[in-house]
């Protein structure tokens, strides 16, 4: 989950926390992001979903599109079990890819994002 932490003398930091344990994620190598997807076989068994499947393809399989950030291992496993478990597919993507994907999908360049970061840093925000 994306959160704002208050630190120091009125300063704040935008951070990611684990959606299972709530702790701050400060090492991208031990974390991942995921979302829920319907199993294709379940959609085929449900007549209403099956008719929708004929109108829409891939997006139908994504369950509301909410993204979860989690520590790998126990947090990931426990989060899955508490949120539908094997009833859904749970793609696991390394967290290290997320910032680059966001920069790209926001229509920015890495150089522009870096320049804005340094500008913000000089303002003490
Ligand atoms: Zn965790």
Does residue 120 sit in helix, strand or coil?
helix
6 Cα–ligand 1 center, Å: 20
Q: Which is it for strands 11-16 and 31-34: parallel, antiparallel or unpaired?
A: unpaired
101 Cα–ligand 1 center, Å: 22
DSSP-derived letter for residue 72 is: T
Please tell me the predicted confidence (pLDDT) of residue 89.
87
d(CA 42, CA 124): 51
Please tell me the predicted confidence (pLDDT) of residue 34.
95
109 Cα–ligand 1 center, Å: 31
Please tell me the predicted confidence (pLDDT) of residue 121.
76
DSSP-derived letter for residue 38 is: E
Cβ neighbours of 75 (radius 10 Å):
22
55 Cα–ligand 1 center, Å: 38
Regions of the chain with pLDDT less than 70: 40-61, 124-125
Please tell me the predicted confidence (pLDDT) of residue 9.
78
């Amino acid at each position: 989950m994306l959160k704002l932490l208050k630190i120091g003398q009125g300063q704040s930091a935008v951070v990611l926390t684990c959606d299972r344990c709530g702790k701050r994620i400060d090492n991208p190598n031990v974390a991942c992001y995921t979302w829920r997807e319907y199993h294709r076989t379940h959609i085929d068994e449900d007549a209403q979903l099956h008719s929708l499947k004929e109108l829409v393809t891939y997006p139908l399989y994504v369950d509301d599109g909410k993204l979860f950030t989690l520590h790998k291992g126990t947090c990931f496993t426990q989060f899955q079990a508490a949120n539908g478990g094997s009833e859904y597919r749970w793609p696991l993507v390394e967290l290290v890819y997320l910032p680059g994907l966001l920069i790209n999908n926001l229509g920015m360049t890495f150089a522009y994002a870096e320049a804005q970061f340094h500008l913000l840093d000089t303002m003490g925000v």
